[in-house]
Amino acid sequence: MQHAEISLLADAAGDTVPPEFTAATIFTQIRLTSLIALFLVVAAALYLYGVYRLRQRGDGWPAGRTVAFLLGGLGSIAAVTVTGIEAYDTTLLSVHMVQHMVLTMVGPIFLALGAPVTLALRNLRVRPRKLLLAVLHSRVARVLTFPLVAFGLFIANPFILYFTDVYRATLEHAWLHELVHVHFIVTGCLFFWPLLSQDPLPNRWPYPARALLMVLSVPFHTVFGLTIMQSQTLLGGDWYPNLHLTWADPRSDQVVAGGILWAGGEIVSVTMLGILVLQWIRQSEREARRTDRALDRAEAEAARADTDAVGPRAD
């Protein structure tokens, strides 16, 4: 794996260090042979096939959902897992934090907006559809997607990862490092899916409660980012100093990493609040239109009843 090779190279040779990380590195260190790249391709193919099947039978599917899932969701995950960001995510903590933010927040938000579960339900036959619904509404799913449980996992996991020996282990073992990537995505999906997605999930809170939960998550990023920035202990212990990078200082890079968490978390949270408010407004408009139609039908029925009661006029 490229990031492991870079780290081992720097650790093994005293004066040999990986090349400096630049914007160009993101595009020159692309690796399309990983398992996550295969997953992204399969997920994109299945989603597009589902859209194609709907259109073949004359049903529509919002283009915005397709763009959100493919470009915003899978695209953002690909941008930090098959490019130079992945190659340097064990070399620079700041690069790793960019990856963390995208896998935990950006990717899951757009995946939720793509409503893949709804797409699957509209394509599956009766038995697989019932099976999928049974899984979605199972006791395990209800517990994991309950907003307060998902919120707790979302908040607690980073502290457990970065302020224990777990993070150092992820730097030393490639398989554990990849597992953490999956963990980031799953945790983000558990938190954001019930808040944003139009899929038929359990534990759907009303929009005011969802917005409140997002507001409560904002201080977490501030506290977490500031804690990392002000910490006198390097995350990962002596891992980063042992890389002997001549073009980066581990302590300064950790300050940058904390700033990325702080600023990035607040930006994403505010954007998330904006999306929730927009969805809330649209739902209110739909409910208002339904109410208007119901009133119109009631008035029409009342008018017909009055006409029937009067009866035809005599000549």
Query: For the chain, what percent of residues have pLDDT higher than 90?
Result: 52
* Closest among 68, 78, 77 to 101, alpha carbons compared: 77
Distance CA 112, CA 71 (A): 13
DSSP 156-196: HHHHHHHTSTHHHHHHH-HHHHHHHHHHHHHHHHHHHHHHH
| Residue 290, burial from CB neighbour count under 10 angstroms (0-12, 13-18, 19+) | exposed
Question: pLDDT grade, residue 313 (50/70/90)?
Answer: low
Joined tokens for residue 245 = 């990078």
Give 28-33 contacts, CB < 8 A, sequence gap 24+.
Answer: 28/84, 29/2, 29/83, 29/84, 29/86, 29/87, 29/88, 30/82, 30/83, 30/84, 31/1, 31/2, 31/82, 31/83, 31/86, 31/87, 32/82
pLDDT at position 221 is 83
Terminal Cα-to-Cα distance of the chain (whole angstroms)? 95
Predicted confidence (pLDDT) per residue in 122-181, tens digit? 999 999 999 999 998 899 989 988 989 999 999 898 989 999 999 999 999 988 998 999
User: In the block, which residue shows the tokens 């008035």?
Assistant: 299
Q: How far apart are CA 4 and CA 178, in angstroms?
A: 12
Give the integer Cα–Cα distance in Å for 125 and 129: 6
Is the model more confident about 298 or about 105? 105
- Compute the radius of gyration of the chain from its Cα atoms: 25
The chain-wide mean pLDDT, for the chain, equals: 86
Would the pLDDT of 239 be above 90?
A: yes
pTM, 2 dp:
0.84
For 18-33, what is the mean pLDDT?
85
Q: Phi/psi class of residue 244: alpha, beta or left (left: φ > 0; alpha: ψ in -120 to 50)?
A: left
Task: Give the per-residue pLDDT at 13.
Answer: 35
- What contacts 285, CB < 8 A, 6 or more positions away? none
Each residue's pLDDT tens digit, 258-293: 999 998 888 888 888 888 888 888 877 877 788 778
